[in-house]
């Protein structure tokens, strides 16, 4: 087994790749570690593939997977993770913003200090304010929700123990949430390392402001899936019961009041003239709907092939 796999998702980064591979080779030459660089070309429309072919012809460590079209960074990381043969896996952006000089320290944190994963922290960042400010807010929210104390969830430079990358499935735009996915898979020793960040030397950023919106929607999905993915009825059923109960109490109150009036022969107002009537109606309908959503979600999860797949770390005496 190789000591290290470096996965580089790359989309239209032809100018940077040569420099990056040379830099990695310089750093790795000072160590004893065996390694591979897996460049995942995410459907680039420039000359990236030509560049990668030339690089791989002269460096046996350089390997590549090329998508026919652009699928996004998460998809690129996912196939990179599946292909990785290293004992430790490090991901790194292709645009020379992440520094290969960090590799030895990251390796050390995984191998010696025993971290399951280590995330880079671009403490001093060379990006415009339009990017750094939303990012600060974003990281604060994710910290609160996930309980994982990282400052920079979206850092492209991260290191993992092999088991971690083989246990998580990164899809959609989930690459920002790999620490959450790792935690959910049972890897709790998650560390952080301040890393040097450089300005983008060539080309342009591939992500705009819309990433913030997608990011928050994905955060909802990740938290929902990790908490209720295998038991949706517990969420919908609880909410449905609560709603129905509120409606039922309101209806009961109205009915009782009406009966009291009738019983005492007092002229009673119409039930429909009370606001509680509408409250009761809406709540009971919403409650029922939530219940139905819960049942349908339960049916869907029961039919999912991975419904009984659990992350097993070790077996003793069992094949
Ligand atoms: N990237 C990719 N597929 C995409 C978008 C980006 O593989 O659809 C790669 C990109 O080539 C780079 C990394 O993801 O290596 C980070 O992208 P970028 O530098 O544009 O993001 P930023 O640094 O601006 O956050
Ligand atoms: Mg970048």
CA of 81 to the centre of ligand 2 (A): 20
Task: Evaluate whether 43 touches 10 at the Cβ level (below 8 Å).
Answer: no
Identify the band that residue 128 occupies on the pLDDT scale cut at 50, 70 and 90: confident
CA of 166 to the centre of ligand 2 (A): 25
Identify the band that residue 18 occupies on the pLDDT scale cut at 50, 70 and 90: very high
Q: What does the mean pLDDT of the chain come to?
A: 93
Going by CA atoms, what residue is nearest to atom 13 of ligand 1? 93
Give the DSSP per-residue string, 117-157: EEEEE-SS--S-HHHHHHHHHHHHHHHHHH----S-TT-S-
Give 280-301 pLDDT, tens digit per residue: 999 999 999 999 999 999 999 9
CA of 2 to the centre of ligand 1 (A): 26
Give the DSSP per-residue string, 186-241: T---EEEEE--B----SS--S--THHHHHHHHHHHHHHHHHHHTT-HHHHHHHHHH
**Which tokens go with 85?**
């043969």
Pocket of ligand 1 (CB under 6 A): 9-11, 13, 42, 70, 72-73, 76, 93-95, 97, 156, 205-207
Q: Please choose, from the candidates 152, 122, 124, the residue with its C-alpha nearest in 3D space to the C-alpha of residue 138.
A: 152
**Cα atoms in the 13 Å half-sphere on the side-chain side of 224:** 11
Q: Which of 92, 93, 153 to mutate for ligand 1's pocket (most ligand atoms within 8 Å of CB)? A: 93
Identify the band that residue 209 occupies on the pLDDT scale cut at 50, 70 and 90: confident
Which ligand sits nearest to residue 74's alpha carbon? 1
Q: How far is CA 319 from the centre of its chain?
A: 32
Identify the band that residue 36 occupies on the pLDDT scale cut at 50, 70 and 90: very high
Q: How far is CA 176 from the centre of its chain?
A: 5
CA of 11 to the centre of ligand 1 (A): 6
């Amino acid at each position: 087994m190789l000591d290290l796999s470096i996965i580089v998702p790359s989309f239209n980064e032809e100018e940077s790749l040569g420099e990056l591979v040379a830099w990695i080779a310089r750093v790795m030459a000072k160590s004893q570690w065996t390694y591979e660089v897996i460049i995942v070309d995410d459907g680039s429309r420039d000359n990236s593939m030509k560049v990668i072919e030339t690089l791989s012809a002269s460096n046996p460590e350089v390997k590549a997977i090329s998508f026919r079209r652009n699928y996004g960074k998460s998809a690129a990381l996912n196939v990179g993770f599946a292909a990785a043969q290293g004992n430790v896996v490090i991901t790194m952006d292709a645009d020379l913003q992440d520094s290969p000089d960090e590799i030895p320290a990251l390796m050390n944190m995984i191998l010696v200090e025993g971290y399951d994963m280590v995330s880079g922290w671009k403490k001093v960042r060379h990006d415009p304010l339009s990017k750094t400010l939303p990012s600060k807010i974003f990281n604060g929210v994710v910290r609160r929700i996930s309980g994982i104390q990282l400052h920079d969830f979206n850092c492209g430079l991260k290191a993992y123990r092999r088991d971690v990358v083989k246990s998580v499935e990164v899809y959609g735009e989930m690459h920002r949430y790999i620490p959450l996915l790792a935690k959910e898979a049972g890897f709790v020793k998650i560390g952080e390392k301040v890393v040097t960040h450089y300005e983008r030397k060539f080309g342009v950023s591939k992500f705009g402001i819309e990433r913030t919106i997608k990011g928050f929607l994905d955060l909802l999905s990740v938290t929902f899936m990790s908490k209720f993915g295998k038991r949706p009825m517990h969420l919908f059923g609880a909410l449905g019961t609560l709603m129905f109960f509120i409606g039922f109490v309101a209806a009961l109150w109205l009915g009782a009041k009406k009966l009291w009036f009738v019983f005492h022969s007092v002229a009673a107002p119409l039930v429909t003239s009370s606001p509680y009537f509408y409250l009761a109606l809406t709540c009971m309908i919403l409650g029922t709907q939530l219940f139905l959503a819960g049942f349908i979600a339960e049916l869907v999860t029961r039919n999912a092939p991975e419904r009984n797949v659990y992350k097993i770390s070790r077996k003793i005496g069992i094949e």
